Amino acid sequence: MTDVTSFKDHFSDRSAQYAQYRPHYPDALFRFLADIVGTLWPPERCHVDTRYANIDFPATRIDTPTFHMQVKWSAQDLLGYLRTWSACKRYRQERGEDAVSIIEPELTAAWGDAEREVSWHLTLWACRY
């Protein structure tokens, strides 16, 4: 059974801010994250996952607006994006093969021919010194 609670990411069910987007992603993506590359992220990835809230900036934080990035992607666009992930690059270095190719047929079939909306929250920190 896939443990999707073992990682935190914009595709994860542990990230409440992305919960509204989860139904749009195929199950293969969640298995990929948990079972294939979930443990290969560098430790610094936690800063992205927490929106940098765990970094103690030496200044007064200024509130900033919320930003989102939205794109419409084909399955090939998504697969290309996954291949840019540091966890996927580490998988290739350690195992000599492309991690994304493991789920490519299943994800491509589940995604279909249409483009789908993919969305991210973007974090902006501003401080006053």
pTM here? Answer: 0.75
Cα torsion 3, 31, 43, 40: sign: positive
Q: How many whole angstroms separate alpha carbon 104 and alpha carbon 118?
A: 17
Domain residue extents for the chain:
16-128
Residue 120 φ/ψ, nearest 5 degrees:
-130, 150
Q: How far apart are CA 101 and CA 83, in angstroms?
A: 9
Tokens describing residue 41: 């992220």
Maximal CA-CA distance, the chain: 51
pLDDT tens-place values along the chain, 129 residues long: 333 333 334 554 444 544 555 556 777 887 787 788 988 989 888 888 778 888 888 888 899 998 888 889 999 999 999 999 999 999 999 999 999 999 999 999 988 998 988 887 788 888 888
Q: Does the structural domain 16-128 have CATH classification 3.40.50.150?
A: yes
Q: How many residues can be counted in the chain?
A: 129
Contact between 89 and 81 under an 8 Å Cβ cutoff? The reply is: no
- Quote the distance between the C-alpha of residue 104 and its chain's center: 16
> How far apart are the C-alpha atoms of 118 and 120, rounded to whole Å?
7
